């Protein structure tokens, strides 16, 4: 028998029904904690809560995990999906504006998830329609549902999120998954260690925001110096597609690789995470390690997205 919903869970569910998920900025620390509790309630839930509802999947950029896990989540709750995974097969290729595409999707769907290369595109989409809009990644800006599944994975692995020292490794300039998670962990008061090549440091305005919130953070270019103190190492891909200069990418593309020798320097319980896809920054020999959590993250994405879709549609188990 599942535990009864708490007052905080019910209040949050009522507040978010019909709303958008555009940025982690919209959630307070307490809302993040309550959201994780609600996600946990959706473990193993396959009830047809969204029967007859349609998810519009508007993906203007490539994706494996975000698109498939949203579609899986919708279908596992009895709903269905339509949309496109390549903007070139939509009328965008004929010059249709994002605004108009979203207005069209509104005619065919009940809720929309959008991925777009332009920062702020999810907000534009949310303004174009009264339907709930979920940001599945907008340029180098935000990936809020990835953040929820990252927090959920940390919580399940470590039993807590708050109080952990979390290191971010790789492309902190362009990595939207890192940007969103850094913002959320900053809200929750975690200590952060930022490890990147000089050219891919977390942008100044994001560092200033951390300072304004009083977040404790340090920065280094040296992975091996950072690793021994960490509870979680969040590895990111160097985002080739966002570089203006291909030579600049060539200079930094192989800066880091996490392999078993790196784990020898870490605490035994340090968890290695990655939003995926990976290229060379995590050696496949790590995959069998109990410390590797990246495939688990992808699996948790379905539970997180089931919970979000149900919440936004106001349909609870
Ligand atoms: N983590 C993530 O966003 O993966 P995809 O680009 O495959 O959706």
pLDDT of residue 2: 74
Find all residues with CB under 8 Å of 10, minimum gap 6, and list them: none
**Taking a C-beta distance cutoff of 8 angstroms, is the pair 45, 311 a contact?**
no
Q: Output the pTM of the full model.
A: 0.97
| pLDDT digits 0-9 by tens, 53-66 | 999 999 999 999 99
Label residue 20 left, alpha or beta by phi (over 0 means left) and psi (-120 to 50 means alpha).
Answer: beta
pLDDT of residue 63: 97
Ligand 1 atom nearest 67 alpha carbon: 8
The residue with tokens 């207005």 is 103
Q: What are the residue numbers of the active site?
A: 65-66, 94, 115, 143
Q: Which residues of the chain have pLDDT under 70?
A: 1
Ligand 1, pocket residues at CB < 6 Å: 63-66, 137, 146, 177, 275-277
Length of the chain: 317
Measure CA of the first residue to CA of the last residue in the chain; give whole Å: 13
Bridge partners (DSSP) listed for residue 235: 169
pLDDT of residue 89: 86
Find all residues with CB under 8 Å of 40, minimum gap 6, and list them: 152
- Residue 63 CA, ligand 1 centroid: distance in Å: 5
Q: What gap in Å lies between CA 272 and CA 289, rounded to an integer?
A: 9
Q: What gap in Å lies between CA 12 and CA 207, rounded to an integer?
A: 30
pLDDT of residue 253: 95
pLDDT of residue 1: 65
Beta strand residue intervals within 154-228, DSSP E = 165-169, 191-195, 217-220
Ligand 1 atom nearest 136 alpha carbon: 3
- Residue 143 CA, ligand 1 centroid: distance in Å: 9
Closest residue to atom 6 of ligand 1, CA basis: 63
Token digits of residue 115: 């991925």
Closest to 166 in 3D by CA, of 251, 241, 81, 267 = 267
- Residue 293 CA, ligand 1 centroid: distance in Å: 15
- Residue 42 CA, ligand 1 centroid: distance in Å: 21
Q: Is 162 helix (H, G, I), strand (E, B) or coil?
A: coil
Q: What gap in Å lies between CA 138 and CA 140, rounded to an integer?
A: 6
Exposure of 194 in the CB half-sphere (CA atoms within 13 A): 27
Find all residues with CB under 8 Å of 121, minimum gap 6, and list them: 60, 98, 114, 138, 139
């Amino acid at each position: 028998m599942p535990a009864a919903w708490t007052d905080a869970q019910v209040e949050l569910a009522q507040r978010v029904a019909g709303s958008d998920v555009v940025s982690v900025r919209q959630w307070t620390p307490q809302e993040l904690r309550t959201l994780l509790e609600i996600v946990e309630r959706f473990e193993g839930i396959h009830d047809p809560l969204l029967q007859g509802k349609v998810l519009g999947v508007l993906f203007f950029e490539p994706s494996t995990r975000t698109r498939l896990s949203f579609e899986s989540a919708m279908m596992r709750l009895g709903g269905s999906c339509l949309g496109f995974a390549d903007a070139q097969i939509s009328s965008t290729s004929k010059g249709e504006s994002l605004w108009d595409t979203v207005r069209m999707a509104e005619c065919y769907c009940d809720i929309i998830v959008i991925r777009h290369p332009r920062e702020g595109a999810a907000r534009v989409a949310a303004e174009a329609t009264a339907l709930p809009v979920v940001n599945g990644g907008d340029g180098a800006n935000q990936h809020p549902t990835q953040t929820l599944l990252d927090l959920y994975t940390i919580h399940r692995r470590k039993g807590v999120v708050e109080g952990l020292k979390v290191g971010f490794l790789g492309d902190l300039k362009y990595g939207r998954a890192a940007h969103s998670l850094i913002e959320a962990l900053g809200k929750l008061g975690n200590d952060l260690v930022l490890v990147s090549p000089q050219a891919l440091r977390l942008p100044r305005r994001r560092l200033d925001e951390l300072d304004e919130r009083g977040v404790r953070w340090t920065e280094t270019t040296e992975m091996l110096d950072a690793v021994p103190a960490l509870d979680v190492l969040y590895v990111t891909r160097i985002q080739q597609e966002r570089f203006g200069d291909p030579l600049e990418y060539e200079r930094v593309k192989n800066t880091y690789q996490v392999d078993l020798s790196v784990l020898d320097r870490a605490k035994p319980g340090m968890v290695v995470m990655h939003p995926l896809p990976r290229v060379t920054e995590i050696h496949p020999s790590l995959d069998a390690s109990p410390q590797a959590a990246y495939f688990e993250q992808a699996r948790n994405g379905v539970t997180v997205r089931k919970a979000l879709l149900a919440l936004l549609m106001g349909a609870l188990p």
